[in-house]
Amino acid sequence: MSKVSRKTTDPKIVDQKTVNANATNPRWIALQVLLRVIEHGRSLDDVFRSDWFLSLPAEKRDLALCREITFGLCRWYFALSAVLTQRLQKPLRARDRDIEIVLLIGLYQILIMQTGAHAAVNETVKLALAQKKKWASGLVNAVLRAVLRENLALDASADAQAYPRWMREKIQTDWVGQSEAILRAGNRRPPLTLRVDTREIDVEKQLGELNASGIEARGHGEVDGAILLDSACDVAELPGFDEGRISVQDAAAQLAAQLLDCEPGARVLDACAAPGGKTIHLLQRYPEIELDALDSSASRLDRLRQNLERIGHSAQILVGDAAVTDDWYQGRQYDAILVDVPCSASGVVRRHPDIKLLRRESDIMPLRAQQAKILDALWPVLKPGGRMLYSTCSIFKEENKIQVAEFLQRHPDAVEISLQAAWGESRPHGRQILPGSSNMDGFYYALLTRLDES
Closest among 136, 112, 92 to 2, alpha carbons compared: 92
Q: Are the C-beta atoms of 372 and 341 separated by less than 8 Å? A: no
Calpha distance 186→353 (Å, rounded)? 8
* Phi-psi map region of 234: left, alpha, beta (phi>0 left; psi -120 to 50 alpha): beta
Catalytic residue among 66, 262, 272, 393: 393
In the annotation, is 233 catalytic?
A: no
Phi, psi of 336 (to 5 degrees): -150, 140
Where are the extended beta strands (E) located within 91-183?
none
**DSSP readout, 283-321?**
HHH-TTSEEEEEES-HHHHHHHHHHHHHHT---EEEES-
Q: Which residues of 11-50 are buried (b: 16+ CB within 10 A; e: fewer)?
A: eeebeeeeeeebeebbbbbbbbbbbbbbbbbbbbeebeee
List all residues 6 or more positions away from 357 whose beta carbon is below 8 Å from its beta carbon: 4, 37, 38, 74, 77, 164
Angle in degrees, CA 371, 377, 379, rounded to 5: 100
CB atoms within 10 A of CB 330: 9
Calpha distance 231→216 (Å, rounded)? 8
| Active-site residue list | 393
